[in-house]
Amino acid sequence: MKRYAIIAAAGILAAACGSGPSSPSNTLPTTINFTAALNAANEVPPITNADAGATGTARVTFNLTRDAAGAITAANANFAFDLSGFPAGTSIILSHIHEGGPSVPGGVKVNSGLSPANPIVLASGTVTNQTFTNIPMTDLTLVQQIIDNPNGYYFNVHSALNTGGAVRGQLVKQ
């Protein structure tokens, strides 16, 4: 009889100590990081003009709010990128996330807010740590889709010379 009492007490103690699975909101991340290796050759079609030697790296962070069940209830994004190999004086006019796999063009899904009216001018053809913060992401289904399949989305940067895109790279979850 003592043996059964000890086993029962051990089971109650284990349950009280939380040895079971934790709730989803405690285990799902609230920050998701992505990178993208940007290259003019990745554009569709590949860039062959003065921007052909351009490369860069993008860093994208999703900041998430989750409910007790772990569902995303709010989100915003931060973009940061480094570019090099552009001709001196290049104007960068747009940057955003598009839907589309490698070699597949797609529509804009998350825009940085950069516009041709207020370009970033690369005096030496280079920029380091160009950032855009707190970009609202209201389509929470899209946020989850990007998290689940980052390779189905790409980050790209457009120049005044290549208004359809100058460098691009697929998102990779870190």
For 66-97, the pLDDT digits (tens) are 999 999 999 999 999 999 999 999 999 999 99
User: Does residue 96 sit in helix, strand or coil?
Assistant: strand
User: Does residue 173 sit in helix, strand or coil?
Assistant: strand
Query: 8: pLDDT confidence band, cut at 50, 70 and 90?
Result: very low
For residues 35-42, give the mean pLDDT: 98
Sequence-ordered list of residues with C-beta below 8 angstroms from that of 126, at least 6 positions apart, any chain: 82, 83, 84, 85, 86
C-alpha 24/C-alpha 67 separation (Å) is 9
Between these two residues, 25 and 57, which has the higher pLDDT value? 57
pLDDT of 139? 98
Q: Can you give the pTM of this predicted structure? A: 0.84
The letter for the amino acid at 150 is P
pLDDT of 27? 85
Quote the longest CA-to-CA distance of the chain. 86
Is 61 within 8 Å of 33 (Cβ atoms)? yes
Tell me the percentage of the chain whose pLDDT exceeds 90.
Answer: 84
pLDDT of 12? 43
For 116, the token pair is: 């041709």
C-alpha 115/C-alpha 122 separation (Å) is 15
Question: Look-up: residue for tokens 């109650």?
Answer: 12
CATH architecture of 24-173: Sandwich (2.60)
